[in-house]
Amino acid sequence: MAGDARRAFDSHAADYEAELDRGLRLSGEGKQYFALGRLAALRRVWTAAGRAEPRCVLDYGCGIGDVTALLADCFPRAEVIGVDPSERCIERAVRDHAGPRVRFSRLDGFEPPAPPADLVHLNGVVHHVPPGDRATLFAALASATRRGGAVALFENNPWNPGTRLVMARIAFDRDANPIAAPAARSALCATGLQLLATRFLFYFPAPLARLRPLERALERVPLGAQYLVLAERPLAS
């Protein structure tokens, strides 16, 4: 991964939560709300697709490791490996979240230092990778996925104006280049992965929380604050 991104996240490792909360304050929610919402959506889509429980999950771009630990709760039979280019973030992740089923290592370049996984999870990673390097990133994601396994890609939706406002308030997201869902799907398919599902999430901020029961019905409307693309590596690939 690009050295500039690594240095940027090294510099924000200590104040990552404060920076994130500064942006998310506009929504009226904290990072835990969004992390749990994403994983609930992934669990729902994974089960609906009839997929077997993963034994190995790779959290690609794990940051400080809090979501890596949540992935271990979400998929209780799996070993979960978090990788990230920031040495300082990995140090925090090891200190705060390493355990019997959760471990971490530093990502040097795009290829993860781990065996292929049944599930490769990444959230908010692509928008930190320069567009010219994204083909390399997506190829690495595909090669990190076991045959028959899947990639679950979560990204901020640039078609949602609230998302852009939030990102503008977060120091490490301010200069990022968001990727729209159609482009993410195309990039995944270009590696030989096959699409399984696309879902859009988080339509209503806290002041409109009474409307959130409608969000499940809106998951295919491309206006949510984030989206999930689930894509499978075919057995024959």
Tell whether the model's pLDDT for residue 6 goes beyond 80: no
pLDDT at residue number 163 = 81
Number of compact structural domains in the chain: 1
| CATH code (residue 10) | 3.40.50.150
Confidence band for 151, pLDDT divided at 50, 70 and 90: very high
Tell whether the model's pLDDT for residue 217 goes beyond 50: yes
Confidence band for 19, pLDDT divided at 50, 70 and 90: low
Within a domain: 57: yes
Confidence band for 82, pLDDT divided at 50, 70 and 90: very high
Number of H helices, E strands in the chain: 8, 7
Mean pLDDT of the chain: 90
Query: For residues 130 and 115, what is the distance between their CA atoms, to the nearest angstrom?
Result: 26
Nearest by Cα to 61 from 9, 99, 19, 96: 9
Within a domain: 52: yes
The structure tokens 């939706």 sit at 157
Q: What is the dihedral of CA 57, 61, 64, 65, to 10 degrees?
A: -10
Within a domain: 124: yes
Confidence band for 216, pLDDT divided at 50, 70 and 90: very high
Name residues whose C-beta falls within 8 Å of residue 136's C-beta, 6 or more positions apart in sequence: 110
- Give the predicted TM-score (pTM) of the model: 0.91
Tell whether the model's pLDDT for residue 119 goes beyond 80: yes
Supply the range of the domain harboring residue 157. 3-232
The pLDDT tens digits of the residues spanning 47-63 come to 999 999 999 999 999 99
The DSSP 8-state label assigned to residue 99 in this structure reads: B
Query: For residues 75 and 117, what is the distance between their CA atoms, to the nearest angstrom?
Result: 13
Confidence band for 11, pLDDT divided at 50, 70 and 90: very low
The pLDDT tens digits of the residues spanning 171-210 come to 766 788 999 999 999 999 999 999 999 999 999 999 999 9
What is the arrangement of strands in the sheet containing 56-60, beginning at the earlier edge strand? 102-106, 79-84, 56-60, 117-123, 145-156, 226-232, 194-201
Tell whether the model's pLDDT for residue 4 goes beyond 70: no
Is the Cα dihedral 21, 218, 40, 181 positive or negative? Answer: negative
Nearest by Cα to 47 from 37, 58, 39: 39
3-state secondary structure at position 157: coil
The pLDDT tens digits of the residues spanning 21-53 come to 665 666 788 889 999 999 999 999 999 999 999
pLDDT at residue number 12 = 46
Within a domain: 237: no
